[in-house]
Amino acid sequence: MIVGAVRGRWRLPAWASDAGAAAVVLAAELGLASYGLGARVVLLAVAGAGLMLLRRRYPASVAVMAGVLYLIGTQPPEYDAPVSSALIALYSVGRHASGRLAIGIGALAVMVGAVRSGAGWEGASLASVLTVGLSPAAPVAAGHIVRLRAELLHRRQQQAAELAVREERRRIARELHDVIAHHVSVMSLYMGVARRTIPLDPGRAEETLRTGEDTARQAMAEMRHLLDVLRTDGEPVDDQADVGVARLPALVEESGNATLEVAGEAVELPTTVDHAVYRIVQEALTNTRKHAAGARSRVLLTYQPGLVEVEVGDDGQPRPGDVGVGLGLAGMAERVSLCGGELRAGPSPRGGFVVHARIPLVERP
């Protein structure tokens, strides 16, 4: 993409390219004139140069007129034909005209060239005949090849842009899923606790409701941040959200029935890894509340040289029908893959469910 941007930035404007072609025709025809700079030679050179300014808009007409100038130039007594203008015009047909029109102009140029040189075919070798006869088709073919390459490059750029849009949509879907699923499940948990404790302990129920209210505010804050990201039109954003390893204790605490253990010497994580670790823990705890209500969870964050590991396990029993990979696990797998890591998720031999991610802190060669 960077190379494409540089190419686009340094590409000459169309008028400058056409003016350059006109200058080349003047330099070639006036500088290499075999019979001196007679009036006819100068007029043919100027006319051929003028046609170069129209070669993009009217490639077929310019090619025909350049051919006429070429035939005029081959008439005796002076045989100074404007070859350069004819070659550039034929190239422009292949570059800027449709495929069928380019083939038609190329075939016409070959026939005219063959008829015009027909008197000299006697005794000539087959290679010489083919070289002279097919030479007008070479610039047309060259122009058409350049056109096909340009169209292929444009198509690849479009595909890359579409892929980037799809990747961004998947990223936003993961963010929305993580934010909404986690906070809604936490609020549901606290509302249930408050409903059961209101008759027995109104004070505790009030505290639980306040916690649920704080969770709702946090969900709204993260949702607003996502909307702000969508409104930035590609401008850099300082933070992905208020997420990261530093917030894991608060995340585990608000989950209600989970513990956090940290092993190894903590190091500062890259932003993408820091974000991914938080979202993995968040989604795993959310899945525990959804599929194994009441189960206890254990979060283990391990720092090792060059990598970080995070494991979230529970001791619950899955509900009947909870089989397969949902959006949550798929989102976790995508996050870990983008960081160059590995994710394993499945039932634990000791019972319950375990999610284990292993993420390197340096890029793999």
Residue extents of the structural domains in the chain? 2-135, 243-365
Q: Which SS3 state, helix, strand or coil, does residue 205 take?
A: helix
Which pLDDT tens digit goes with each residue over 199-232?
Answer: 778 777 777 777 777 777 666 666 666 665 555 4
| Structure tokens that stand for 72 in this block | 């005029």
Whether the bond between 136 and the residue before it is cis, its omega within 30 degrees of 0, is no
Backbone angles phi, psi at 144, to 5 degrees: -65, -35
d(CA 21, CA 13) in angstroms, rounded, equals 13
Maximal C-alpha separation, the chain: 118
Output DSSP code: residue 97.
S
Handedness of CA 43, 49, 54, 60 (dihedral sign): positive
The position carrying tokens 């209600």 is: 256
Beta strands in 241-320, from DSSP E residues, in sequence order: 258-263, 297-304, 307-314
Q: Reading across the β-sheet that carries 297-304, which strands appear in turn?
A: 258-263, 297-304, 307-314, 353-360, 342-347
pLDDT at 13: 82
| Integer Cα distance of 166 and 309 in angstroms | 29
Per-residue pLDDT, 40: 79
Q: CA geometry: angle at 22 spanning 115 and 139, to 5°?
A: 40
Provide the β-strand partners of residue 356: 311, 344
Cα 139 to the center of its chain, rounded Å: 34
Q: Are strands 307-314 and 353-360 parallel, antiparallel or unpaired?
A: antiparallel
Percent of the chain with pLDDT over 90: 13
Higher pLDDT among residues 271 and 80, named by residue: 271
Q: Read off the pTM.
A: 0.46
Mean pLDDT for 32-37 is 65
Q: How far is CA 215 from CA 202, 249, 272, 284, 312, in A?
A: 20, 15, 24, 18, 21
Please tell me the predicted confidence (pLDDT) of residue 359: 92
CB 110 within 8 A of CB 136: yes
Rounded distance between C-alpha atoms, residue 276 and residue 354, angstroms: 17
- Please give the average per-residue pLDDT across 14-37, as a whole number: 80
- Spacing of C-alpha 301 from chain mean position: 34
DSSP code at position 349: T
Q: Which two tokens stand for residue 329?
A: 């696990």
What is the rounded CA–CA span in Å between residue 29 and residue 82? 6
Q: What is the mean pLDDT of residues 279-299?
A: 84
Residue 137: both structure tokens together: 């088709």
Residue among 359, 183, 172 nearest 276 (CA): 359
The pLDDT of residue 223: 65
**pLDDT at residue number 9:** 41
User: Which structure tokens are listed for 220?
Assistant: 């709204």
Give the pair of three-digit tokens for residue 347. 């039932």
Q: Going by CATH, does the domain composed of 243-365 fall within 2.40.33.20?
A: no
Helix (H, G, I), strand (E, B) or coil at 141: helix
Residues 130-159: pLDDT tens digits? 666 677 888 888 888 998 898 888 888 878
Higher pLDDT among residues 193 and 17, named by residue: 17
Q: How confident is the model over 295-316, as pLDDT tens digits?
A: 889 999 999 988 999 999 988 8
